[in-house]
Amino acid sequence: MKVIHWKTLTLLVVLILTGLWCVGLVRHLDVEAHDTQSILGSSPLYSLTGANGWINSKPLSPRDLKGKVVLVDFWDYSCINCIRAIPYIRAWEDKYRNSGLVVIGVHTPEFDVEKQMANVEKAVKRFGVTYPVALDSDYRIWNAFHNQYWPANYFIDSRGKVRYEHFGEGDYDRSERWIQELLKEASSTPLPASPVTANGQGAEAAADLNDVRSQETYIGYARADNFVSRGGIRRDTEFSYTEPTHLRLNEWGFSGQWLDQRQAAVLKAAGGKIIFRFHARDLHLVLGPSTLGRAIRFRVTVDGQAPGPNHGFDTDAQGNGVVTDDRLYQLIRQKGSVRDQTFVIEFLDPGVRAFSFTFG
């Protein structure tokens, strides 16, 4: 009969005990994973793992957000509606951060240039955004939420369930009441009842919606409307356009040498213009240099005159300004009564890229 050596016996005991410990660990992890899955299993928060990058934070997962009330804000840094909502998002994050609220800005780009991390980082800094921002360049998070709007706010309770949705600007008091309600459910900590006050400056200021008769207008041919320069838009072809005359409200056109592409038009020679007949307090234009690091000078007029006190945040009283980054530029903010007027922007240098007009 063979006799098992004591060293061998000791080794067998160690292996058995190790195996039992591993089984226990696996069961523990299974229970914890099942618990997380039961809380967040149906939550679109799982889509955060598909982000193309993060700003102001390490990548966040559903496990990081377990037990938290989460506000997911879909935005785009050139979207004027998103820009005007940012002061409220910042104020909510500041007021309720210590009460358990996590704000996540999901940046889903409209234009290809907005997929660039450097451009989003500049926008985050410019708007004073300090909460986590997930880059959603491939629309993975957008699609998981079945979202269709900029801006869009999703209010998610501590168990990962979307409890309230709000699309577009406005109704901020109601949104804040939902934040308070979800935080009360998650914790018995008392919360201040008064709503935040947010006073945006420049493009962040609320629109004068009672007197806006002009709508967002795209310059790239894929979505361009109301273009009236003679001959129409020449797609993907450099062409010398003639300035249109006798514009009706919301009609627009080019003057000079332009190359109109799907998302934007590129000016090929100095002196080119864009002309637009508008009715709104504020006029904005999304612009950028076609060559990184290039500065492009411009001058704007309204009904043939320098804007004077009606100049925007990105122009002076004489109408002068400079394009340096791909972003929204506020060119006109009127102080007095609003009427139909003709806006002209002339570029003193070639190489600008023009995307879209927005109004407020």
Tens of pLDDT, residue by residue over 275-313, are 999 999 999 999 999 998 999 999 999 999 999 999 999
194 and 223, same domain (yes or no): no
The three-state DSSP-derived secondary structure of 19-47 is HHHHHHHHHHHHHHHHHHHHHHCCCHHHH
- Whether residue 256 is contained in a domain is answered as yes
Q: Looking at residue 244, which CATH number applies to its domain?
A: 2.60.120.260
- Whether residue 22 is contained in a domain is answered as no
Band (pLDDT 50/70/90 cuts) for residue 42 is low
Residue 49's φ and ψ, nearest 5 degrees, are -70, -15
**pLDDT at res. 13:** 35
Concatenated DSSP letters of 265-289: EEE-STT-EEEEEE-SSEEEEEEEE
pTM for the structure as a whole: 0.87
Rounded Cα gap, residues 256 and 272, in angstroms: 4
Higher pLDDT, residue 40 or 188 = 188
Residues 280, 286, 287: CA angle, nearest 5 degrees: 135
**Which structure tokens are listed for 332?**
């006109």
325 and 226, same domain (yes or no): yes
If you average pLDDT over residues 25-51, what whole number do you get?
57
Rounded Cα gap, residues 73 and 108, in angstroms: 10
**pLDDT at res. 65:** 96
136 and 220, same domain (yes or no): no
224 and 348, same domain (yes or no): yes
Helix (H) or strand (E) holding 351: none
pLDDT surpasses 60 at 11: no
- Whether residue 10 is contained in a domain is answered as no
**pLDDT at res. 189:** 74
Query: What is the β-pairing status of strands 101-107 and 133-135?
Result: parallel
187 and 68, same domain (yes or no): yes
Tens of pLDDT, residue by residue over 67-106, are 999 999 999 999 999 999 999 999 999 999 999 999 999 9
Q: Tell me, what DSSP letter sits at residue 336? A: S
- Domain of 127 in residue numbering reads as 45-204
CA-closest candidate to residue 99, choices 35, 191, 178, 18? 191
167 and 230, same domain (yes or no): no
Q: Are 331 and 300 in contact (CB under 8 A)?
A: yes
Q: Looking at residue 84, which CATH number applies to its domain?
A: 3.40.30.10
**pLDDT at res. 34:** 34
pLDDT surpasses 90 at 35: no
Tens of pLDDT, residue by residue over 119-174, are 999 999 999 999 999 999 999 999 999 999 999 999 999 999 999 999 999 999 99
The residue type of 301 is T
213 and 350, same domain (yes or no): yes
**Which structure tokens are listed for 129?**
């955004």
279 and 185, same domain (yes or no): no
Residue 207's φ and ψ, nearest 5 degrees, are -75, 160
Q: Are 329 and 321 in contact (CB under 8 A)?
A: yes
pLDDT surpasses 70 at 15: no
Helix (H) or strand (E) holding 217: strand 217-218
234 and 186, same domain (yes or no): no
Domain tally, the chain:
2
If you average pLDDT over residues 37-46, what whole number do you get?
64
132 and 248, same domain (yes or no): no
Q: Tell me, what DSSP letter sits at residue 239? A: E
Q: Are 249 and 340 in contact (CB under 8 A)?
A: yes
Band (pLDDT 50/70/90 cuts) for residue 316 is very high
Band (pLDDT 50/70/90 cuts) for residue 40 is very low
**Dihedral through CA 85, CA 217, CA 212, CA 315, nearest 10?**
70
If you average pLDDT over residues 175-191, what whole number do you get?
91
80 and 175, same domain (yes or no): yes
pLDDT surpasses 70 at 9: no
Q: For tokens 């979202």, name the residue.
A: 147
350 and 256, same domain (yes or no): yes
Rounded Cα gap, residues 21 and 28, in angstroms: 10
